[in-house]
Amino acid sequence: MKTNFTDANYKEVLANTKELIVIDFWAEWCGPCKMIAPSVEELANEYAGKALIGKCDVDENNDMAVNYGIRNIPTLLFIKNGEVVDRLVGALPKAKIAEAIEKNL
């Protein structure tokens, strides 16, 4: 996965991205986060050019997590035109994540 969202870069990335943005909020110690990581990686490749899919480590980027009200991980935020349009929480199957991406494209 190419895009890592951080406290330092996320506002600039959001401002300069026209397509749907999907942010996977995760942490190294989170088992469910590790479970969905391969699916998120595959979807990032499958939707390249249609959606920007990246990750945000909540332990290293607390300001960003607080700004978006992330209380549980994994959480996937779907952002379009700078606004959160959808949110998925928990270890969901790849098909469910893909369905949310399609709905929000």
pLDDT, tens digit, 9 for 90 and up, residues 85-96: 999 999 999 999
Residue type for 63, please? D
Domain with residue 90: its CATH number is 3.40.30.10
Which of the residues 21, 30, 56, 101 is marked catalytic?
A: 30
pLDDT, tens digit, 9 for 90 and up, residues 30-83: 999 999 999 999 999 999 999 999 999 999 999 999 999 999 999 999 999 989
pLDDT of the residue at 3? 87
Which of the residues 20, 23, 33, 79 is marked catalytic?
A: 33
Nearest to 53 by CA among 73, 72, 75, 76: 76
Beta-strand ranges (E) seen in 1-105 are 3-4, 20-26, 51-57, 75-80, 83-89
Q: How many separate domains does the chain show?
A: 1
pLDDT of the residue at 50? 96
Query: What does the angle CA 103 – CA 56 – CA 51 come to, to the nearest 5 degrees?
Result: 30
Range of the domain at 51: 3-104
The DSSP call for residue 70 is -
Structure tokens at 37: 């990581």
What is the value of pTM for the model shown?
0.94
Does the active-site annotation cover 56? no
